[in-house]
């Protein structure tokens, strides 16, 4: 697993960018905090068409993602790039996969009803 590549994709401040557009890339908004704001918006429950049970589970998972990301960002850079950071990254990846799998299972159910 390329830990720096994952940190770059998460837009973590611990990532070491090796391109000519470092400043531009670091100014882009971080994905997980944006997702957290979007799922906690008032209109999501009303306009999404997602089953309430799935929406509750998804909201819980996104809150966990947000918490894990905050934990990662609060680590000192040497710790974030070593074992403690790697443990958080693995948890983030597994939780993200669970979110994707849950929504993939729900999509066929919605089209059948």
CA atoms within 13 A on the CB side of 14: 23
CA angle 92, 75, 89 (to 5 degrees): 20
pLDDT of residue 44: 67
Which of the pair, 103 or 59, is modelled with greater confidence? Answer: 59
Which of the pair, 45 or 73, is modelled with greater confidence? Answer: 73
pTM for the structure as a whole: 0.72
Which of the pair, 44 or 108, is modelled with greater confidence? Answer: 44
């Amino acid at each position: 697993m390329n830990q720096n590549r994952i940190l770059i994709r998460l837009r973590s401040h611990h990532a070491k960018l090796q391109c000519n557009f470092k400043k531009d890339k670091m100014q882009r908004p971080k994905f997980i905090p944006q997702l957290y704001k979007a799922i906690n918006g008032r209109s999501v429950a009303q306009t999404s068409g997602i089953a309430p049970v799935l929406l509750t589970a998804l909201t819980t998972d996104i809150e966990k993602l947000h918490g894990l990301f905050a934990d990662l960002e609060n680590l000192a850079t040497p710790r974030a790039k070593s074992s403690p950071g790697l443990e958080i990254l693995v948890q983030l990846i597994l939780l993200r996969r669970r979110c994707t799998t849950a929504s993939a299972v729900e999509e066929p159910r919605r089209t059948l009803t």
